[in-house]
A and B are shown apart, each in its own frame.
Chain A
Amino acid sequence: MISPIKIWRRQKEIRKILGKKGKILAWTKIYTPGTDFKKYAPYPVVLVELENNEKAYGQLVDYRDEDLKTGREVVSILRKVREPSIDGVITYGVKFKLL
């Protein structure tokens, strides 16, 4: 279950990886999502190696299918990531866009 406290705790971590450049290491495009992501399907998810060698996941936004390739350069951005929780708190998280 997603509680407002969990969302608040996560925000502190998200801040550290925003605005970071990186390269796509692996990717997929989800056609059958879980409940909270049904509205967004199909959507691509990329596994990215950031400049500091850390790795992060996120959905890729503003893309065309031909952009889905390993090695493509991306940058991390802040976006709404799932349907609001029952308490109405909007969950923001990391997504990526192409550089």
Chain B
Amino acid sequence: MNFIIGYHTTQFGELWEKSLFDLVEEAINGVLKQTSLSSRQIDAVFFGNMLAGVLENNLHSPSKVSEILKVNIPIFRAEAACASGGAAFNLAKTYLDSNSNKNVLVVGAEKMTDYSPEETITGLSAASSGEEQEAGLTFPGLYAMMANFYLEKYHFTEENLAYVSVKNHYHGSLNDKAHFRKKISVEDVLKSPYVAYPLKVLDSSPISDGASALILTNRHDLIKKQRNLVSVLASEVATDTISLKERKKFDEILATKIAGDAAFKKAKINRRDIKVAEVHDCFSIAEILAMEDLGFWEKGEGGNRIKELLTMCENGGNLIVNTSGGLKAAGHPVGATGIKQIGEIFLQLTGQAEKRQVNNVRYGLAHNVGGSGGTAVVTILSI
């Protein structure tokens, strides 16, 4: 069994004074301090990052992480668009499965705000198909197509989607590391300008800077000593076509369904056992699809279920979703997101989630998606 023994994240936001590797260093030092480990006690590192090569001609990151840690251990970069963090975590877990008595550092980071929105959007488009890029389809555009299709098929309106952002901004107001800490109303969402019809600015996660890090271990001596110990019951990855148009259904993310089903099977628990989840809400529609595709809600009922706001922590439903604020309010530094999601579940399971703490949590789930659904990673944790 593999265990998470520590988590640290930087502030998420527009961090103009810090470079990508300033953020990486801050996250690494934070998690090492918290777990009282030295860099020499780390046996391997997995680094999640998408855009450094595209935006700032910044590659060979393993060597850059080596320079920060002053070690000569194996270090690997994982890239799966917005699922880069989740993919790095999955690889770290797989590494431990085949190597006993090791400590692995998982760090994810992204530096996105040095560039104009158009440049960053173009960079993000690298994770879509050539035909999508040629048609001028951005990522908001691809999710907007799915949203439009979903709203039309199940007879919902943009108002149904707006509740996702209202809930996640409320959670963000309770998280001092979140990019946005302001509560918003349904009217605020509906009045915000369109990014890609029917999705508006307040349906969309922001462009953020940030880094998050976890320590994963299977070292028996360390496991015995740790106060904050969370076991990894499952971490499953599934992939699908890069092009939305090649998929059979436009109102589901098949990779989420496959990874979710595999994770629940491996963890040997039921959907109702999960009390907290971080799901990939890059756009409001994405959270609704995630809740359905993970099996928490029936297909087509998400538009109504979100309006009940039972997944908001102050309402105390059976499952609270995106207590970090989600990608929407906590921010979405692409490579960091998947690590932050798992880290938030770690905080919840170990009772460290402060104002947003959900009571009596034994199991939690993190769900990370790359692109328009080409990759999905589902992780289930327990105390």
The residue among A34, A43, A47 with the most chain B CB atoms within 10 A of its own CB is A34
- How close is B13's CB to chain A, nearest CB, in angstroms? 20
Interface size class of A (residues with CB under 8 A): 20 to 34
Verify A27–B122 contact, CB threshold 8 A. Answer: no
**Set of chain B residues within 8 Å of A36, measured between Cβ atoms:** 122, 136
Verify A26–B118 contact, CB threshold 8 A. Answer: no
Q: How far is the CA of A57 from the CA of B137 in the complex (A)?
A: 9
**Set of chain A residues within 8 Å of B130, measured between Cβ atoms:** 10
Verify B245–A32 contact, CB threshold 8 A. Answer: no
Output the nearest chain A residue to B143 by Cβ-Cβ distance.
Answer: A28
The residue among B122, B131, B146, B152 with the most chain A CB atoms within 10 A of its own CB is B131
Verify B135–A26 contact, CB threshold 8 A. Answer: no
Among A32, A40, A47, A57, which residue has its beta carbon within 8 angstroms of that of B196? A32
The residue among A29, A37, A82, A91 with the most chain B CB atoms within 10 A of its own CB is A37
Return the CB mask of A28-46 against B: 1 if under 8 Å, else 0: 1111111111101011010
Q: How far is the CA of A25 from the CA of B149 in the complex (A)?
A: 8
Verify B195–A32 contact, CB threshold 8 A. Answer: yes
Q: How far is the CA of A93 from the CA of B137 in the complex (A)?
A: 14
Output the nearest chain B residue to A7 by Cβ-Cβ distance.
Answer: B134
Output the nearest chain A residue to B251 by Cβ-Cβ distance.
Answer: A26
Q: How far is the CA of A51 from the CA of B287 in the complex (A)?
A: 34
**Set of chain B residues within 8 Å of A55, measured between Cβ atoms:** 245-246
The residue among A40, A45, A58 with the most chain B CB atoms within 10 A of its own CB is A45
Given A28-B145, A28-B148, A47-B145, A34 and B197 touching (CB < 8 A)? no
**Set of chain B residues within 8 Å of A34, measured between Cβ atoms:** 118, 121-122, 125, 133, 136, 138
Given A29-B197, A36-B122, A45 and B117 touching (CB < 8 A)? no
Q: How far is the CA of A55 from the CA of B245 in the complex (A)?
A: 6
Given A30-B136, A57-B135, A81-B136, A35 and B122 touching (CB < 8 A)? yes
Q: How far is the CA of A39 from the CA of B138 in the complex (A)?
A: 15
Among A26, A29, A30, which residue has its beta carbon within 8 angstroms of that of B250? A26
Verify A26–B131 contact, CB threshold 8 A. Answer: no
**Interface of B: prevailing SS:** helix
Verify B141–A30 contact, CB threshold 8 A. Answer: yes
Q: How far is the CA of A34 from the CA of B133 in the complex (A)?
A: 9
**Set of chain A residues within 8 Å of B140, measured between Cβ atoms:** 30, 32
**Set of chain B residues within 8 Å of A57, measured between Cβ atoms:** 131-132, 134-135, 137, 245
Verify A30–B118 contact, CB threshold 8 A. Answer: no
- How close is A42's CB to chain B, nearest CB, in angstroms? 8
**Set of chain B residues within 8 Å of A18, measured between Cβ atoms:** none
Does any Cβ of A come within 8 Å of B74's Cβ? no
B103-152 residues with Cβ-Cβ distance < 8 A to A are: 116-119, 121-122, 125, 130-138, 140-141, 144-146, 148-149, 152
Q: How far is the CA of A55 from the CA of B148 in the complex (A)?
A: 18
Verify A47–B134 contact, CB threshold 8 A. Answer: no
Verify B135–A81 contact, CB threshold 8 A. Answer: yes
**Set of chain A residues within 8 Å of B246, measured between Cβ atoms:** 55
Does any Cβ of A come within 8 Å of B244's Cβ? yes
Among A29, A32, A42, A58, which residue has its beta carbon within 8 angstroms of that of B135? A58
- How close is B44's CB to chain A, nearest CB, in angstroms? 33
**Set of chain B residues within 8 Å of A93, measured between Cβ atoms:** 134-135
Output the nearest chain A residue to B246 by Cβ-Cβ distance.
Answer: A55
**Set of chain A residues within 8 Å of B194, measured between Cβ atoms:** 29, 31, 42
Verify A28–B122 contact, CB threshold 8 A. Answer: no
Does any Cβ of A come within 8 Å of B317's Cβ? no
Given A34-B118, A47-B244, A55-B246, A28 and B135 touching (CB < 8 A)? no
- How close is A30's CB to chain B, nearest CB, in angstroms? 5
Verify A82–B136 contact, CB threshold 8 A. Answer: yes
Does any Cβ of A come within 8 Å of B193's Cβ? yes
Q: How far is the CA of A45 from the CA of B145 in the complex (A)?
A: 9
Does any Cβ of B come within 8 Å of A98's Cβ? no
Verify A32–B117 contact, CB threshold 8 A. Answer: yes
* 5 cross-chain CB contacts under 8 A: A27-B145, A31-B193, A34-B122, A47-B245, A58-B135
Q: Which 8 A-B pairs have the closest CB atoms?
A: A28-B144, A34-B122, A57-B135, A37-B136, A55-B245, A29-B197, A26-B145, A35-B118
